[in-house]
Chains A and B, each alone.
Chain A
Amino acid sequence: MTLTAEVTTPPATPAPPPGTARKRRQAAETRAGYAFLAPWLLGFFLLTAGPMLASLYLAFTNYNLFAPPEFTGLENFRLLFKDPSYLKAWQVTGTYVLFGTPIKLIAALAVAMLLNNRRRGKGFYRSSFYMPSLVGASVSIAIVWKAMFIDNGIVDQIGQFFGAPAGGWVGDPNRTMPMLILLTVWQFGAPMVIFLAGLKQIPNELYEAASVDGAGPVRKFRNITLPMLSPVIFFNLLLETIHAFQIFASAFIISNGTGGPARSTLFYTLYLYQRGFQDFRMGYAAAMAWVLVVVIGLITVLFFRSSKFWVHYSGEGK
């Protein structure tokens, strides 16, 4: 809305009086700016906003791709909360978000702090710790992961050596979730790099002053690093939480698209995909998508509301 309003503003200004060439040039530049934006804007409206509106409509219909959509009001939403698999999908996704995200962030922060101090070869270490994030999103790594955790795979063999029960993680519903959480924790590179940037910005004088006052490393971490880093932590936490809700590819590959064994990897988006493209219930799937959008929106609002209690911006006093 605001975008279109701004677009119409420049032509509405009266013709500039002669001599104000500067203003004219600015207007021309604005136009050029929007012209450059045009492909993106077109893409946004045609490929994102349009389909989103269509899916909002479909959420209130019974649509199986073959016959035209039939308006059913809130029926899809009513069915959702009676569907045991749907509730299971929330449970699985919730567990993943609740455990995966904090563990991943803690790992990212820990590694970032280690790398922050390192002097020699830090470029090499940073790249190698960031690498899993680059390859981790790909399909191939999920396949590798599956091969590692399968019955008699390398993880199983090492586990048996230390007395863990035999049998792969992939086929055991109690161990698929830890396996997927490990996979996401391993991809801590992106939040780590952001943490690292945040750590670099903390003025060294603060630590020096604290040392003079006799503060130990724990005290420094709690009273300097954490508060100074809190905007970055907030950013990472928000991003990673939203990201975790959308997990799809690794679960799809590891369970062959079934969400199995015993629905233990039936993540929200995976179930949505099954409903839409395997059961041909597009209206139902669209309703699921919109519930997810609303829930993620609410969680984001909650985060922002809570941020004023624990996030400190150093510029605030000025």
Chain B
Amino acid sequence: MKRSLWKITAVAAVAALSLTACASGSGDDDAPSTDPTAPVTINFTWWGNDDRAARYQEALDLFKEQYPYITVQTSFAAFPDYWTQRSTEAAGRKLPDVMQFDLSYLREFNQNGQLLDLAKYVDDGSIDLSGYDETLTESGVLDGKTIGIPTSTNTFAMFQNPAVISATGAEFPDDADYTWEDYNDFIAQASSAGVKTADGYQLYGAVDYTGTFWFFIQWLLQKGVTPFEDDGTFGFDEDDVVEFLDLTADLRADKAVYPIDRGTSLLPKGGFTVNESATEMSWDNFLAAYVADSGTQDIALAQIPSVEPGEKHLFFKPSMLLSAGANTEHPEAAATLINFLLTDPEVGRIFGTSKGVPADEEQRAAVETEEGSVDARVIAYEEAVTEQVTESTPIPVKGFGTIEAKWKTLGEELAYGTITPEDFASQWFSEAEIATS
């Protein structure tokens, strides 16, 4: 009786312990081998929606055909959750072998050597960047280490919904040389028309664009201000922030921008994607998503406004970088996958411009640009504005992701009228000081 009691206890204890131990057991037991084609398994993760997942799956099926000895285990998440997962992994030095990366988080993850220096593989040709523009590859170099390589580029565009514009009767100014004031006039005109949709919602000219940090950066560049210095300090002060926010002060006062409460309840969609707002500024690769979400096929891309007529000071933002965790046990396989995703023409065809215009020449050429298609419009736009792209990409400071998010939160409060532009500026700076230190 007594003995059996002890036995049961022991069994229960062992069972409980082994259950907890499951979590720490790692399955990868491929010993490092000199044979380059010995079977290996690597992890690959990205952020994005189902559409992107399907495209990645298609690309990885091709990869499997060419490199049958490399097994790729995949996972993906939405952007905010993605960084929560990566930061937790970084704390335990268990980052995936290959992962999609964003410029805003590069500096943070570079601390403590979390990301693999890919220079070795670029030099020996395992990652072939011959089809790349050199200034673009530099964006992933920090402290002399190549820790990320962009897949594609984005730049800002003004998206227009022709049906909504004509319904309001407002006239969009000539996009070649209109200023922010001209754009404001358009917004005011479109919103004040008071036209309503069949469901009874009023049509507006646009959302309050001052709520997006990147537009502030773009505006600074147009004013000739370098937003971030190499040492991580800011090239602007609270007065600049207030001046930018005051661009739309009258629109806010007259309730001529898309109402924030309606916008909030529409999330993750927005006024533009439910066809209630005539225009929206964003990265040009958003076209595919806009068309899909709004069901409006003929969304047009125009140029964004500027401070001085015609001087756009655009920049190409390198996007969807690929990086490898410094803890990877299979750096060669990781490099092979990165090279395949960045340079294989078939991969370029699979993704089109959904991740931005491909950076690699051959991939760009492989994108099927059927006349009038989404991809064709985006590529045509980037070609049209090439001469306006005069700025190099602002180097995001450490903590960029945080200060960008903070800008958005404060922008919301400004839209609700709970804070003034001055409050906004002082709160944002106090936050930025901590985040970037």
Contacts and interface: CB of A to CB of B under 8 A. Distances in A.
A262 B262 contact: no
B84 interface: yes
B109 interface: yes
A168 B262 CA distance: 8
A263 B413 contact: yes
A261 B90 contact: no
Interface in B173-228: 199
B253 interface: no
Contact of A168 (B13, B88, B265): B265
A234 interface: no
Interface string B394-435: 000001011001000100110010100000000100100011
B16 interface: yes
Given A66-B112, A277-B87, A279-B402, A260 B427 contact: no
Given A35-B13, A36-B9, A278 B265 contact: no
A39 B90 contact: no
Interface string B1-44: 01001100110110011001000000000000000000000000
Given A171-B265, A278-B405, A39 B16 contact: yes
Nearest to B402: A279
Interface string A22-65: 00000010001001101100110010000000000000000011
Contacts of B199: 152
A94 interface: no
Interface residues of A, number: 40
A272 interface: no
Nearest to A146: B265
Given A32-B6, A66-B109, A279-B402, A170 B264 contact: yes
A173 interface: yes
Given A66-B91, A280-B87, A39 B260 contact: no
Contacts of A35: 6, 9-10, 13
A39 B12 contact: yes
B114 A262 contact: no
A150 B409 contact: no
Contact of A42 (B10, B17, B80, B111): B17
B265 to A, nearest CB: 4
Looking at chain B, what size class is its interface with the partner chain?
Answer: 35 or more
A305 interface: no
B111 A66 contact: yes
Contacts of A39: 12-13, 16-17
A198 interface: no
A278 B88 CA distance: 11
B345 interface: no
Interface in B261-297: 261-268
B108 interface: yes
Nearest to A28: B2
Contacts of B381: none
A58 to B, nearest CB: 11
Contact of A171 (B10, B260, B402): B260
Given A171-B261, A263-B409, A151 B266 contact: yes
B5 A260 contact: no
Contact of B263 (A65, A171, A256, A281): A171
A318 interface: no
A28 B90 CA distance: 47
B132 interface: no
A67 interface: yes
A32 B4 CA distance: 11
B244 interface: no
Contact of A151 (B2, B262, B399, B413): B262
A79 interface: yes
A231 interface: no
A261 B9 contact: no
B354 to A, nearest CB: 23
Interface string A158-190: 000000000110111100000000000000000
A258 interface: yes
Contacts of B80: 257, 278
B140 to A, nearest CB: 18
Given A35-B6, A35-B13, A262 B111 contact: no
A150 B265 contact: yes
Given A38-B9, A171-B262, A278-B84, 16 more contacts: A28-B2, A32-B5, A39-B16, A65-B87, A79-B434, A82-B430, A83-B430, A167-B262, A167-B265, A168-B261, A170-B264, A171-B263, A171-B264, A277-B84, A278-B401, A280-B108
15 contacts: A28-B2, A32-B6, A36-B12, A39-B12, A43-B16, A46-B20, A67-B111, A150-B265, A151-B261, A171-B264, A256-B267, A256-B268, A259-B409, A261-B264, A278-B402
